[in-house]
Structure 1
Amino acid sequence: MNRIKVTFLLLCSCLTISCFEDLDDQITTTNEINDFVWSGMNHFYLYKDNVPNLANNRFSISTGEYASYLDGFSNPEDLFESLIYNRQTVDRFSWIVDDFIALEESFKGVSITNGMEFQLYRFSTTDSRVFGVITHVLPNTTANNQGLIRGDLFYAIDGTLLDTSNYSQLLGRSNYSIDLGFYDDNGTDERDDDVITPLDKNIALTKAQYSENPIYIDQVLTVNNRKIGYLMYNGFTGTETYNNELNNVFANFKTETVNELVLDLRYNSGGSVNTAILLSSMITGQYTGEIFSTEQWNAEFQAAFEKNEPEQLINRFVDNYNGTSLQSLNLSKVYILTTSRSASASELVINALSPYIQVVQIGTTTAGKYQASTTIYDSPDFRRQGANPGHTYAMQPLIYKSLNVDGVTDYFEGLDPTIEIAENILNLGVLGDVNEPLLSAAISDISGTAKKTNHKSYPIDILENSNDFKMVQPGMYVDKELPLHLTNLY
């Protein structure tokens, strides 16, 4: 179905009259945006073959069937969601936004935040009470300036107790105060007698635009005469500035002659595939040109790639970034710390490195995201240039799934750790400290003094984390040119 013809017919039809208006007063109808949504998903969606309404021959244009179909959706979000294949079990990660400017900023690490990164819990699946525990605090933010630290617990917002019915609304505010408390297990292993005891202390927080450096901690630890590089990396932010900073970290590791690396991805929900390749190439260095990962697209694109440009389905280890040599460690083993918040590009690093070097994964099972997305704009070729000035909608649909060199993919249930240890809210420890439980487990394994770890975790029911309150959700994305030239659609 040729998109230009479809749009022309839509303009000649009786359409939904609701409109979107931008600063230039250019009006775009809902159905025009709906046409963009359907066309973009019809072209690129990974699971197109599983969605009957995305079939190329699904609608008769001459009878107005397509226009009537689009007219059945009052907003683009509803149409987009109707085209998702098995939202709960297969595609949990495609999304649509009505502000692609904010989307683009998020990929650069820019968001609206007060700097308090947290995890929300409740005592059990039948208990409506909710409380939050701060996992880390971003530097130069309100939370940092107010003295909040990892392990601080809050149970109320502006004096209102958090529960399952109100926490989203309360934490979604731009300004609020948190009421601090501490978790009291009453000295027992049972949760029935656990309570949150107020500290009679509240902290006022204000959200503001913030550019987050994904390199949260980098340091060299000397333990039993072994040089251990420790890097807490919180996002695969694919900007030139942050990629260069990452290379500089590894240059320092080389200068310090580190012979072990602990890569902390416990709160890293993903990002740029290209940055994942760069990081993995810095960890190794001896596999330049070898297959890092391969891509599997929908049937139309996959066939076109395999026939015309099969190399485009392959991502390879590299030895430079924009002409600058990578500072690689040539390691044969790496320790990677994970939790359920470790997703997409974080998992890609683990999965892609595993066939080549020993990956010792410490923590808990990862999120289970093996698919990549890209930004689709409302333009003739779906790229940013020439985007419709009448609205700022864009889509981030899944377009391919990643496989390592051995063909491993579809780890929907996540990647299981080699050494399992859950973060315990009663003993989170200080990030980067040798006694912090996950890092300590890695150091113990490195030094050969590993011992049985207490896996006790409070509580069992984790609700959400601070990423869930951001306008744009993190994930694995690619920014290479869309391969429209490979099909007969243009």
Structure 2
Amino acid sequence: MSLKNIALIFFSACMFSVFGCRKENNDPGNTTADDKIKDSAWSYAKELYLWNKNLPSGFNAGTYADPDAIMKALRPYSIEPGFDDPVDRWSFAIKKNEWNDLSSGISGDFGLGIFFMSENDLRVSYVEPASPAAAAGIERSWRIVSVNNNTTVNTDDATVSRITDAVFNSSAASFTFEKPDGTDVDIALTAKTYQDEPIILDSIYTNGGNKTGYLVYNSFLGDIGSIKSRFGNIFSKFSAAGVTDMVIDLRYNGGGYVELQNELANYLVPAAGNNSIMLEEKFNDNYKALLDTTINYQKKGGLDLSRIFFIITKNTASASELLINSLKPYMDVKLIGRASHGKPVGYFNIGVGDWYIFPVSFRSVNKNGEGNYFNGLQPDAIVDDGLDKPWGDVNENCLASALHYINDGGFSRISPRVQQDIKLEKGNAALDVKRFKGAVEERRSVW
């Protein structure tokens, strides 16, 4: 057992003692089970929340509907030097059975990701391979021209809300798609339970006589052992092919387990970074001596890259950003796309009754102490998401820009817009609201 796990078990025992004793001595006779859960959720948050010094002493957990509402009520107190507004957008709680499905990569919907390419052009951004959408033959780049026989498709708030409900909150819906050849197809979908596939594509391109590896990675959640095995196979293939450059596509990756971030980082870091600091996790003053952690690189695989390209968007969050930040001290990191989400903090699941609570509990920094990118990691080349092209198409905007740089030393497909249209960005943010965004340290064994 690691020293950190021993420390965490000690920490858990202390917390149980503090909260358990207080409950036993002070519970009035009419306190309900729900009240106890709410009070415990607040008690843990007071101790662990990264900005706990800002929390009010008069907070009344009993006035909130459930632990999720309590966690969200913490957010306004996340005052960070250098930022005008509270930075926490992520503290939350979820029923244990729901988290068990989410964290294992089990979904129950159509398996469609959708984003606007322009204010009136809604595209399929990705399709889960085991989902109803995949079984129906739907592919990335198809245009959605009607939803439930309604042909109004635009970024207006009411329209986005209607489409979001139909795609993400319905058990059945009908669509008309325009395929790349210009023909239309009507497809009715019924939601079902399926296993997500976070690794969407891996390819190798011969680029000016050199080999470029390309990996589309959609989530750091799922079966940890299975994903690690897939990484091993993929990077063995890249090494055997003599890959000299890598493009990692994280444009829709909202994060997940830090353990999987560590694994991927170990394949990507140059050999010279072996045994050096990958990242540091820093807790609040109450628990920094007990829980602060330094993670070092343990180099894996045969790649020895001097530079790396990441494709990012506003949907690239948390563990994805952690990966990029962790590699920056060791290699030339190039970012293509749009500014990332901006989540340099993480949490772990704390069991409270039939809930898990996730108060933001630690910040992450790289070897150079760099972090705090609450405004997102900024791209070297602002390039629009090529939603009109399938995965791996060398003419897709972002991949094409990376390949052009590898060949010619400069980016291509630079967007004429310094920032996306406000309505387009707002609409796409609403369409991404269902995807998890987080860097999670798995602690179930001690909580």
Name the SS for the 1:52 alignment partner: coil
Q: Which residue of 2 aligns with 1:178?
A: 175
Pair 1:44-2:29 in alignment: no
Q: Relative to structure 1, is the Cα distance of residues 51 and 121 closer, same or farther in structure 2, using a 3 angstrom cutoff?
A: farther
Displacement after TM superposition at 1:141 (Å): 2.1
Kept in 1, the 8 Å contact 2:315–2:432? The answer is no
Q: Which residue of 1 aligns with 2:433?
A: 468
1:363-442 pair list within 5 angstroms: 363-378=337-352, 388=353, 392-425=354-387, 428-442=388-402
The worse-fitting range, judged by mean Cα deviation, of 279-288 and 410-419 is: 279-288
Pair 1:267-2:232 in alignment: no
Q: Distance in 2 between matches of 1:455 and 1:182?
A: 25
Q: Which residue of 2 aligns with 1:254?
A: 239
Kept in 1, the 8 Å contact 2:72–2:91? The answer is no
Gaps of 5+ in 2: 1-14, 79-84
Pair 1:5-2:17 in alignment: no
Name the SS for the 2:251 alignment partner: coil
1:318-333 pair list within 5 angstroms: 318-319=298-299, 326-333=300-307
TM-score, with normalisation over the residues of structure 2? 0.84
The one-letter code of the counterpart of 2:245 is E
Per-residue CA distance 1:351-389 (angstroms, 9 max, x = gap): 1111111101111111111001110102xxxxxxxxx4x
Name the SS for the 1:468 alignment partner: coil
Q: Relative to structure 1, is the Cα distance of residues 432 and 467 closer, same or farther in structure 2, using a 3 angstrom cutoff?
A: same
Report the count of equivalent residues: 410
Displacement after TM superposition at 1:181 (Å): 5.5
1:165-204 pair list within 5 angstroms: 165=158, 166-167=161-162, 168-171=164-167, 172-180=169-177, 201-204=185-188
- Where does structure 1 differ by over 6 angstroms across 4 or more consecutive aligned residues? 481-484
Q: Which residue of 1 aligns with 2:440?
A: 477
The one-letter code of the counterpart of 1:260 is D
Q: Distance in 2 between matches of 1:435 and 1:218?
A: 16
Displacement after TM superposition at 1:6 (Å): 2.5
Q: Distance in 1 between matches of 2:407 and 2:228?
A: 31
Q: Which residue of 2 aligns with 1:186?
A: none
Pair 1:338-2:312 in alignment: yes
Q: Distance in 2 between matches of 1:445 and 1:408?
A: 26
Displacement after TM superposition at 1:268 (Å): 1.0
Q: Distance in 1 between matches of 2:225 and 2:445?
A: 21
Q: Which residue of 2 aligns with 1:83?
A: 74
Kept in 1, the 8 Å contact 2:339–2:376? The answer is yes
Q: Relative to structure 1, is the Cα distance of residues 208 and 401 closer, same or farther in structure 2, using a 3 angstrom cutoff?
A: same
Kept in 2, the 8 Å contact 1:278–1:317? The answer is no
Q: Which residue of 1 aligns with 2:287?
A: 301
The structure with the greater share of residues assigned to helix is 2
The one-letter code of the counterpart of 2:52 is K
Q: Distance in 2 between matches of 1:422 and 1:235?
A: 21
Q: Distance in 2 between matches of 1:244 and 1:293?
A: 23
Per-residue CA distance 1:94-142 (angstroms, 9 max, x = gap): 1111x2122122222222231211125773xxxxxx7632112222322
Name the SS for the 1:398 alignment partner: coil
The one-letter code of the counterpart of 1:407 is G
Kept in 1, the 8 Å contact 2:175–2:186? The answer is yes
Q: Relative to structure 1, is the Cα distance of residues 81 and 454 closer, same or farther in structure 2, using a 3 angstrom cutoff?
A: closer
Corresponding residue to 2:327 among 321, 334, 353: 353
Displacement after TM superposition at 1:459 (Å): 5.6
Per-residue CA distance 1:69-88 (angstroms, 9 max, x = gap): 44433433333333333477
TM-score, with normalisation over the residues of structure 1? 0.77
Q: Distance in 1 between matches of 2:263 and 2:184?
A: 47
Pair 1:292-2:278 in alignment: yes
The one-letter code of the counterpart of 2:47 is H
The one-letter code of the counterpart of 1:280 is A
The one-letter code of the counterpart of 1:136 is Y
Per-residue CA distance 1:384-435 (angstroms, 9 max, x = gap): xxxx4xxx2111221101011111111111011112212255xx32211222
Name the SS for the 1:235 alignment partner: coil
Q: Relative to structure 1, is the Cα distance of residues 154 and 456 closer, same or farther in structure 2, using a 3 angstrom cutoff?
A: farther
Kept in 2, the 8 Å contact 1:283–1:328? The answer is no
